Structure 1
């Protein structure tokens, strides 16, 4: 049986599965990296971790934009018949919130480095200099964007935890195929 790159009415294809798990790992890794980098006592290590955090932030932003574009042209499979009405109505809202946080978080980080008075260039994976957003530099703006980035990070990780809990509930309690269809790709004839 040949698997498909695209979604079918009952399962996700390889493209969406790879993007889902890659974005998920990077998003959770970014939270952990952000937590560690601001608590490291070595300035050199902290600087290197911040540069790595910024690099993965830009990668995450690009991947989520790609995922949304792919999703717009490739509809998600229908939920199994066993999924209740309330969940059918709230699931799209939860997914929209996840997408929104995955875009807002890197953008707030980009805004933060753009308004910083330190003027340290951002070089994603040391490949090129990423231009700053056209925002005025100031300590007040840096404080605002720092707080916004922090709150978005914690709210975003809370959403991810809820998303994981919902997936595990479907798999272990409801025993339906909601999680399985994001693990095993669709086949061309399905």
Structure 2
């Protein structure tokens, strides 16, 4: 089933969830590696371009994810969750959606204000235009810090989200994790 059901996630939600999760993990690792001071400049340039391309891909998928989330129905909460757990889950999911949008947008802003004025080549296919922001060292420092703080916040929230899913699966033995791994149409 492509759409979410009353108690399960559909294929579109599952695909977007795991694809964005993999992109986030890859972007965090790539972001760390590409900013190492001892890296070869030619390699660093290529890593930055890959980081930007994957970031734009994440942004596009996140926009689709948000629209899908807004337009679709949502499975009911797993039985046994308290009102506080349901509210916390909702808040974490809203924060995840917001951060998965904000991190790539701040990265785009950072590339746009950089005094180096290096184009963003989307997988060497097209050039993504810069945002209409003023280029300056001060703006670059501000967007660098903002992008890093939001990226690390996203990483922390993702770890908390994954930890909660594993807690539900291995400690509470409920369907919180399982319903994001499979859907009833395929699994009967």
User: Into which bin does the TM-score normalised by the smaller protein fall?
Assistant: over 0.9
* Corresponding residue number in structure 2 for 1:9: 6
1:27 equivalenced with 2:24 (yes/no): yes
* Secondary structure at 1:60 match in 2: helix
Write the distance in 2 (CA, Å) between the matches of 1:41 and 1:33. 12
- 1:57–1:106 contact (8 Å) kept in structure 2: yes
Task: Return the TM-score normalized by structure 2.
Answer: 0.96
* Corresponding residue number in structure 2 for 1:118: 116
1:42 equivalenced with 2:35 (yes/no): no
* Secondary structure at 2:175 match in 1: coil
* Corresponding residue number in structure 2 for 1:106: 104
Map Cα deviations across residues 115-164 of structure 1 (whole Å, 9 max, x no partner). 01111110111111101101000010001101111111111100000000
User: Displaced runs of 4+ in structure 1, greater than 4 A?
Assistant: none
Write the distance in 2 (CA, Å) between the matches of 1:186 and 1:128. 40
- 1:6–1:186 contact (8 Å) kept in structure 2: no
Residue 187 of structure 1, CA deviation = 2.4
User: What is the Cα-based RMSD across aligned positions, in Å?
Assistant: 1.2
- 1:171–1:177 contact (8 Å) kept in structure 2: yes
1:183 is aligned, of 166, 181, 184, to 181
Residue 36 of structure 1, CA deviation = 0.5
1:82 equivalenced with 2:109 (yes/no): no
Residue 91 of structure 1, CA deviation = 0.8
Work out the number of aligned pairs and report it. Answer: 186
Unaligned residue ranges in structure 1 (runs of 5+)? none
